[in-house]
Amino acid sequence: MSSARPTGNRDRSRRAAGWAIRILRDPAALFGILVLLLLVAAALFASTIAPLDPNKQDLGARLLPPFYAEGGSSEHVLGTDQLGRDVFSRIIHGTRISLTIPLVSVTLAGIFGTAVGLLSGYSGGRADTVIMRIVDTLFSFPGLLLALTILAVVGPSFWTLAIVLSLRIWMVFARLTRGLVLSAREAEYVEAAELVGASPTRIMMRHIAPNLTAPLLTLAVLESAHVILSEAALSFLGLGIQPPQTSWGLDVAIGRQYVFSAPWLIIFPGIAIAVAVLGINLLASWLRVAADPEESAKRFAAAADAPTGWSE
Q: Give the residue among 218, 269, 217 at the shortest CA–CA distance from 97.
A: 269
Q: pLDDT of 261-286, one tens digit each?
A: 899 999 999 999 999 999 999 988 88
Give 255: exposed, middle or buried? Use CB within 10 Å, 0-12, 13-18, 19+: buried
Tell me how far apart the alpha carbons of residues 18 and 6 are, in angstroms, rounded to a whole number.
Answer: 18
**Residuewise pLDDT in 10s, the chain (312 residues):** 444 555 556 666 666 666 677 777 778 888 989 999 999 999 999 989 998 899 989 888 899 999 988 888 888 999 999 999 999 999 999 999 999 999 999 999 999 999 999 888 888 888 888 989 999 888 888 877 888 888 888 888 889 999 999 998 999 999 999 988 888 877 777 778 777 777 777 877 787 878 888 889 989 999 999 999 999 999 998 888 888 888 999 999 989 889 888 999 999 999 999 999 999 999 888 888 776 655 555 554 454 455 544 444
Q: How many helices (DSSP H) and strands (DSSP E) are in the chain?
A: 13, 0
Within 10 A of 3 (CB to CB), how many other CB atoms are there? 7
Q: What pTM, to 2 d.p., does this model score?
A: 0.84
pLDDT at position 8 is 53
Which distant-in-sequence residues (6+ apart) come within 8 Å of 60 by Cβ? Answer: 84
Tell me how far apart the alpha carbons of residues 71 and 63 are, in angstroms, rounded to a whole number.
Answer: 10
Give 231: exposed, middle or buried? Use CB within 10 Å, 0-12, 13-18, 19+: buried
